[in-house]
Amino acid sequence: MTRPIGYFVHHQGRGHAERAAAIVNALPADRPVVLFSARADIFPPLASNVTIRTIPSLFEVTGDEPTGLANVRTPSSLHCAPLGWKSITHAVATIASWFDAARPALFVTDVSAELALLARIASVPCVSVLQHGDRSDAGHMAAYESALGILAPYSASLEQPGRPDWMLAKTHYAPGVGVKIDPIDRSAARTALGLPLDAEIVVVVAGGGGNGTPATPLTLGARAEPDTLWLTIGAVEQEWHATAPGNLRHLGWVDTPALYIAAADRVVSSAGNTTVHMIAAIGRPWIVVPEWRYFDEQLWKARTLDQAGAAIMLEHWPSHAGAWMDAWTRAATLELSRQHALYAADAAQNAASWLAKVADDAWAQPVVALPPDPAPASTELAPSTHHAKA
């Protein structure tokens, strides 16, 4: 019987679920997979060998948490491990019970340092997903050190400095895994969306992991270009003092974000993993403004994009029209080939093959390299170099 693979999927944003689905759907059909997540509705269609086990969130309150334990100190080896939460106890018990019953080949965490360590404590081989950010703390490093392998959902050229050699040695890079882009040119995309063919269009892409892109800086950029159509897709956070010009339109969530990116002449975005790889696959003059995330994840990703010559990073939103114009001038010099190099259409299949190999090798009998057989001893006596005394 083929041992199953377990896979924890964080439910914030969309990238975790999309890349997990792409990878497990590419695994062999005879490999059972169980996805553990706080939400089952975030996944695209899954293969018949993949099932979902819904578990309570590991960080969202339910209302019955004891206040007396709320201020107990958290050790440096953990990130989010409050005491007395029945929901967390139930989530951990569900996963641990499955470990005991299923005897899995491997457990993948995308992402939770605590669950990676739980797998190690439970004697289950683990693979940890690596994201950008300052993750040199004790908890993250213990999870990476405990793992058989590390899966990085980005190009090796976007690796940030400071990763130790032992981490890099067991890291598999999967550039743009979970992102599927069908080739389409600008005119065809505009026709499909009903957008004017002859207009200059800026598309602003906001991710799904935060409160949204602030509206006010966008009003400044759009007002500075009255003959350019500015479109936003995703969540936009409105502010009472924002006065939107007529050439700025907020479209909200759309079903075809890649189509809007393809329709654009220029793009502004956050630095979420899915957003980054959609834009890189299509290729446009690009300004990236990182949103706040734990461990400065988006800040580090934006830095690596800028250093790779793929995008122009701004550490904060422009506060006046001149800052927008300066950023656009720099974005116009980008080589789009550097963006395209950050995306691999076969990333999911390659990641699945690597994951299956890690799982199989973990349970294979070790091969001991034996020394070569010694040469047979000669039966002839070598001539003596000494002479007996007369």
Domain boundaries, the chain: 5-178+345-362, 186-340
Please tell me the predicted confidence (pLDDT) of residue 209.
61
Percent with pLDDT over 90 in the chain = 88
CATH of domain 186-340: 3.40.50.2000
* pLDDT over 90 at 240, yes or no: no
Residue 268 DSSP SS3: strand
Please identify which residue in the block is written with the tokens 């457990």: 107
Helix spans in 345-384 (H)? 347-363
pLDDT confidence tier of residue 121, bands split at 50, 70 and 90: very high
As a whole number of angstroms, the distance between CA 341 and CA 362 comes to: 32
Residue 347's pLDDT is 98
Helix (H, G, I), strand (E, B) or coil at 213: strand
Which of 35-39, 60-64, 159-163, 382-386 bottoms out in mean pLDDT, i.e. has the lowest?
A: 382-386
In the numeric block, the tokens 């339910």 are attached to 62
Q: Do 5-178+345-362 and 186-340 show the same overall fold?
A: yes
User: Stretch 53-61: mean pLDDT, rounded?
Assistant: 95
- Kindly report the number of other CB atoms within 10 A of residue 7's CB atom: 25
**Angstrom distance (rounded) from CA 382 to CA 386:** 12
Average pLDDT over residues 201-224: 89
Residue 390 has pLDDT above 60, yes or no: no
CATH of 5-178+345-362, picked from 3.10.450.30, 3.40.50.300, 3.40.50.2000, 3.50.50.60, is 3.40.50.2000
Q: What does the pLDDT look like over 286-334, one tens digit per residue?
A: 999 999 999 999 999 999 999 999 999 999 999 999 999 999 999 999 9
Q: Compute the CA torsion angle 258, 260, 261, 262 (nearest 10 deg).
A: 90
